[in-house]
Structures are given as C-alpha cells and as structure tokens.
Chain A
Amino acid sequence: MSDENLLSRRGLFMKIGFLFNGLVAAALAVPIVRFVVSSVTRGRAYLSWVPLGRVNDFPEGETRLATFRNPYVMPADGKTVDTACWVRRIEGEQFQVFAVNCAHLGCPVRWFPQSGLFMCPCHGGVYYRDGSRASGPPERGLFEYPYKVDNGLVTIQAGELPTPGASLALVGKKPPCQS
C-alpha cells in the first residue's frame, strides 16, 4: 500500500491525459468562438455609400419610396438584401432619408402625403414629415441614413438594420423628438 498522497503512475497519466485534452480543447475553442461571434467582431466595415437615384428623381417638397441593394451580399441572400427607404427632398440638394423601420419595433412605416404623416401598421406609431415622432409608442423619431449628393446622385450610407439600440451610432444624430 502506497501513501495516499503519493501519485501513482496511472493517476499521473490520467491527470496528464486530462491536461492534454484541456489544452487541445482550449486551442480548438479559440477558432470556434471566433467563428461563432464573427458577425459581431467583424466591425462596421460593411457600411458603405450606395446610390438611390438622381437628385431630380425626387421632386422638391415630396417624399418618395426608394430601394437600394445592401452593400454586403452573400450568395443565398435572395431578395432580403433589397431594402426600401423614404427619401424626402426638402429643397435643392437638401434631403432627409428615413429608414422604413419604425423606431418602436421595426415594422415598415408608410407615408401618407395627404396628411403629411408616416404611419406604422403594427402598434400605431406616427411620425411627421420631418421624421419626428408625432404619436404612438415610439420613443424617438424615424431613423435617418447619412446622405450626400455626389455627381447629381443621392447616396446614403447603409448596410445595417436600423434598430433602437444600434442605429444611434449609425445615424450619428438623433432626430428631433417632439412632445
């Protein structure tokens, strides 16, 4: 009978075996975890400038629906990368480009030119023509894409689903919130 504190040959090998497996598991875990969280860690390089149309496609003082293709496309994305947005040409080269996603929970808002309101079909969020909140559950105005006019083309910086949390960074500024 050996001393209980004394490590037997088999016991040592078993411990080394566990240690060996642990090391291999840790080494494998690094690429696995990196793969799983890659959609988070890739950064915001997908944000890029996409054209919506010529300036004169958008009459002054009106708000029109425009569509664009998401700048970052994977082979099996199908129609999901086609995105809609509301383009309001205030005057000249002064625009506002709103995401269709309601600032409440992301349902697509519709523009009603007669009353100058955006209305959401889900929970009844309503916004004025400048995107500011009019009524309903949203806590803020519509999300706005940054835009610029480039060689007569209206281009916006897009590539991310606007959500109440993430889009503050995307937009850079919070649209005015009335009431």
Chain B
Amino acid sequence: MPVLKQIGEWFEQRLGVAAGIRESVEHPVPRSTASWWYVFGSAALVVFCLQLVTGILLALVYVPSASEAWSSLQALNHDVTLGWFIRALHGWGSNFMVAIVLIHMVQVYLFGAYKFPRELTWIVGIFLLLMTLGMAFSGQVLRFDQDAYWGLGIGASIASRVPIAGPAIVKLMLGGPIIAGATLTRFFALHVFVIPGLLIGFVCLHLLMVLKLGINEWPMPGRLVKRATYTAEYHELIRKDGMPFFPYAVWKDLFFAAAVLLAVAACAVYFGPFGPTGRPDPTIIQTVPRPDYFFLWLYAVLSLLPPSLETPALLIGPVVVIVVLLLLPFLSGEGEKSWRRRPIAVLTVLLVAVALGTFTRLADVAPWSPQMNAWSGAAIPQRFLHGTSALQRQGALVFQAKQCRNCHALGESGGQRGPSLDRVAVRLTQDQLIRQVIQGGGNMPAYGKNLSPAETTALVAFLETLHPPGQRPARDAARDLVLNESQDQKPSEQPAQTPQR
C-alpha cells in the first residue's frame, strides 16, 4: 500500500513521533509479566475510556438543572433511542471501574510493585483511586433522584461534623444553605470537568512512570529489593529475559479488556440503567435512601459504630487510611516483594476484603433499619394467636398498632432492629417485660407515655405467650413466694397482675 505509506510519511515528517511510539509499545518487559495477573491496569484504562465516551454521549441530552435533570434522565430512559443503553453502560461502567481499580490495587500491593523505584507510581495510583471514588459519588448525585438528594444530605451531615469549619464546608459543598440547583451544578462541574481533567492528567503520569521505570517483574520469593542494586538488576533481567511488550504481552491485555467491555455491555443489556428513583422532592418523605453499592459498606459502618465513636471515626478514619496508603512505599520500600513471604500483607488484604464484603452484605439486608411498614403490612402469623385469650389478643393488637413490629420480628416478618420476639417469654419474666416496655432501654424507646395501663397489661399478657410449646415462660421464683405470702396474710386480696399461663 504505497499510498498509505506516503500518507504516513507525510504526517511523520511533520509530527516526528513514530520513533517514540515504537519505543513505547515495544519497550521490553520481563517475560514473567506477560501474565493474566498483569491485565487489570489496562482494563481500568479501557473502562475509563468507555466512561469518557458514554459520559460525553449522556451530556448530549442530560440537563444539569435541579428542575430538569430528573426529567431529562427519564427522557434518556424512555424517549431517546438507546438512551437507556448508554445510561446503563455508563452506570455499569462505573461499577466495573471501581471494582477493577480495587483489584488492580490489590494485585500491585501483593506483588510488591509499590516498592523502590515505583513509589510515586503507587502514590499517583492512590490519587487515581480517590478520584475514581469521587467520580462514583458525584455521578450518583447527577442521577438527581431521591437517593441523590438524601445522599447529599448525608454527605452534608458528615461534613458538618468537622470542628469549627463544618458549617462553612457544608455551604461550600452545597453551593448555598440548602440542597438545591447550585448543588447539582457544582457536582456537575466536578463530575464533568474537574475530576475527569485531573484523572486524565494523573493517568498519563501513571502510564509515563510505568514506561520509564518498567513494569514490575514477577516477584520471586527471596529476591529482595535493595535501593542500591535494584535498577541494575532490573535492567539485567530485561536484557537476559525481556521481550517487547507489543506483541508478546499485549494480547492478554486486549483479550481481558474486550471481555470486561463485553461484561459491562451484558450487564447493561440485562439489568438496564440505574434509576432514577423517585423525584428529588424533599416534601416526599416516604423514602428509604440507600447509597450505591460501593458506598454500602460505609452505610453499614455508620449504623454499627457506637454513637460516641462515629464523628471521630468519620473524620479521622479516612485521613488515617489515606496517609497510611501514601506512606506505604516509604515504610516498606525495600525487601521482599513476593506475597508468599509477606503473610501480614496477605492477611491485611483478606481482612479488608472480608470486612468490606461483610459490611456490604449487611447493608444489603440493613437489619438496623426499622421496617417502616411492618406494623401495617406484616400481620402476626396465625400460630402466635392460636388458642389465646381475649386479653392476649388485645395485647397482640396493641403490639401491632404501636409499631412494635417495625423493629421486632415475629415468625419470619417484621423489622430486625430489635431482637426477634418469638421466644421472648423464655428470656424475660413478666416484671421484666413490663419494665422493658414502659422504660425502654438497650436501644429501645420507652413506651410508658404512649401506653395506658390497660394496654400495657394486654401487651405483656400477649408477650408472655411467646415461648416454644414445650418450654415454660421465665418466672421470678422470689416473686411467687412474696405473692403467696401476701395471699396467706390477706386471703381476700388477689395479686394485681394477670394470672400466669
């Protein structure tokens, strides 16, 4: 094809980049790195490119205005040809990007790739991770629905806890005193201009260093990194056992990147776009806001931390984590690279993964959230009412009407905020039940002001029936004794409480 060659030469005469490009794509890499373990970085880059393209496509239709954003997303979902698919690609692309960036980070950590001389590559990578999470959160805000609105409220509540500067940070974040149009436009600017611009710059820096310093060799147990000798050893390795990145290693990156893109597209087709959920109308309070999946773990942590620890953990925790990640290459910049001889590193990864997985799973169930409709929607299973007296049934009504079920499960239904009450009569005596209902305690509100004595009596009578058939309810032996004594002294007087079953 002499014409093509001529065109190529015409450009090359003016640009003069061919040599540089050839040098970059054919730079030698250690033979051991042509591995399926080394494909995550390039996959993250490919998904990032997908996000750029789909993001620009969405911007053709999306209106960053608090009054129009929600309707423009509805138009994308329903009116614009294949708008739903582009939205789904962008949404699933963001999920995949967060996941792949995290996997890439774990691989780099376990392979010791952050050690000398690649400290700065790691540090830039940490900033890339933070920006990826920033994109994820700001993207969730742009999907301006109820979850986005209340998610911003949660963000503002967290930010407001910063000592002294808190209120100012909230106003800076919201662009005013409330969540409104200015909030959306500034998150739009962040999501579309500021963070992507920084991301592109940092990605280039990250790649440049990978090319300059060379890809991390496959870690061999016992081959220690020393600042004085590493560079020479690496060059020696490449000279003896190196091969050009293109085409020896690149085909695996290509295969994996295509597979990831296919997976994103498959998820987009199968599951469709995310939301938008209800209109961002703050007067609609019948809503249960939930964060997107990459922040579910945080939602769980915020529910499970003791209240007194929450603010310090929220404000200090992230700073500590980021500082530790940034300092990591300086704390262990030399020495063993192989995960086989770094048990603490492996355990740390496992611990973090299990913790994040557990918190995410818990947040999916959210046992700490009251079920707001259980009192009216979840009937008491029939078996709990079989053969009960009129008083006990009255108690069951009180139990249902006073929203006890929002927090307490009976059988399979009801909230899980408080303990399940299927067997409560075995655990608590009559007196203890009365005390618990009236005074609350142990994370239960006191119902004393909201229950008449008759209602309390009926409720406790019902609760006392909640024990397995073969097991007697708990009773206070001393109380029986005292009651019997008083009966002996005054035979005419009956004990005030309901008879035990």
Contact = CB atoms under 8 A, between A and B. Distances in A.
Do A and B pair up? The answer is: yes
B292 interface: no
Contacts of B170: 161, 163, 165-166
Prevailing SS type, chain A contact patch: loop
A22 interface: no
A121 B287 contact: yes
Interface string B428-455: 0000000000001001111101100000
A126 B445 contact: yes
Nearest to A100: B285
B92 to A, nearest CB: 26
Interface string A28-56: 00000000010110001010000000000
A107 to B, nearest CB: 6
A120 B446 CA distance: 17
Name which of A70, A82, A138, A163 has the most chain B CB atoms within 10 A of its CB.
Answer: A163
Interface stretch (B6-14, B116-124, B147-155): B147-155
B358 interface: no
Given A124-B417, A163-B160, A83 B180 contact: no
Nearest to A47: B177
Interface in A45-74: 46, 65, 67, 70, 72-74
B178 interface: yes
A70 B288 contact: no
Contacts of B289: 107, 121-122
B440 A104 contact: no
Contacts of B168: 40
Nearest to B175: A39
Interface residues of B, number: 69
Nearest to B451: A115
B52 interface: no
Interface of A: 37, 39-40, 44, 46, 65, 67, 70, 72-84, 100-101, 104-110, 112, 114-117, 119-124, 126, 128-129, 134-139, 159-161, 163-166, 169
Interface stretch (B61-69, B94-102, B419-427): B61-69
Q: 5 smallest A-B Cβ distances: which pairs?
A: A78-B67, A165-B160, A165-B166, A134-B445, A163-B160
Interface in B152-210: 153-154, 156-162, 166-168, 170-172, 174-183, 185
A73 B66 CA distance: 12
A72 B282 CA distance: 15
21 contacts: A39-B182, A40-B168, A72-B177, A76-B185, A78-B68, A78-B280, A79-B279, A79-B280, A81-B178, A105-B154, A105-B302, A106-B154, A112-B406, A117-B450, A122-B288, A123-B302, A128-B445, A128-B449, A137-B310, A138-B307, A166-B167
B447 A135 contact: no
Contacts of B182: 39, 74
Contact of B282 (A75, A79, A112, A134): A79
Nearest to A163: B160
Interface stretch (B365-373, B460-468, B476-484): B365-373
A123 to B, nearest CB: 4
